[in-house]
Amino acid sequence: MSSVTGLAKMIALRRGQDIGRGVVREREGIKGFLADPVAMAAVEFHDDDARAAEEDERVVALAKGCLGFLTDEQRDLVVETIMGEELLSDWAFRNGKTHQAASRQRKRAIEAIRRCVESKRSRGTTGWEGAQ
55 and 105 share one domain: yes
Cα separation of 6 and 3, whole Å? 5
Residue type (1 letter), 86: E
What predicted TM-score, i.e. pTM, was given to this entire model? 0.56
Higher pLDDT, 35 or 21: 21
Residues 64 and 29 in one domain: no
Do 21 and 64 have their domain in common? no
| Whether 73 and 115 share a structural domain | yes
- Per the structure, the complete domain to which residue 28 belongs is given by 4-43
What local confidence, expressed as pLDDT, does residue 88 receive? 93
What amino acid is encoded at 100 in this protein? Answer: Q
- Quick one: pLDDT at residue 116? 92
Residue 52 sits in the same domain as residue 35? no
Specify if 24 maps to a domain: yes
Tell me what percent of the residues of the chain surpass a pLDDT of 70.
87
129 is a domain residue? no
One domain, residues 34 and 56:
no
Q: Do 112 and 64 fall within a single domain?
A: yes
Counted domains in the chain: 2
pLDDT for res 125: 60
Domain membership flag for residue 57? yes
Q: What is the band of 128 on the pLDDT scale with cuts at 50, 70, 90?
A: very low
Within-domain flag for 29: yes
Question: Would you state the torsion angle of the CA atoms of residues 62, 68, 71, 76, taken in this order, to the nearest 10 degrees?
Answer: 80
> Rounded mean pLDDT of 58-76?
91
Q: Decide if pLDDT at 40 tops 70.
A: no
The mean of the pLDDT values for the chain is 85
CATH number of the domain at 110, please: 1.10.10.10
Question: Do residues 88 and 100 both lie within one domain?
Answer: yes
DSSP characters for 76-110? HHHIIIIISS--HHHHHHHTT--HHHHHHHHHHHH
pLDDT for residue 36? 77
Instruction: Establish if 128 belongs to a structural domain.
Output: no
Same domain membership, residue 118 and residue 93: yes
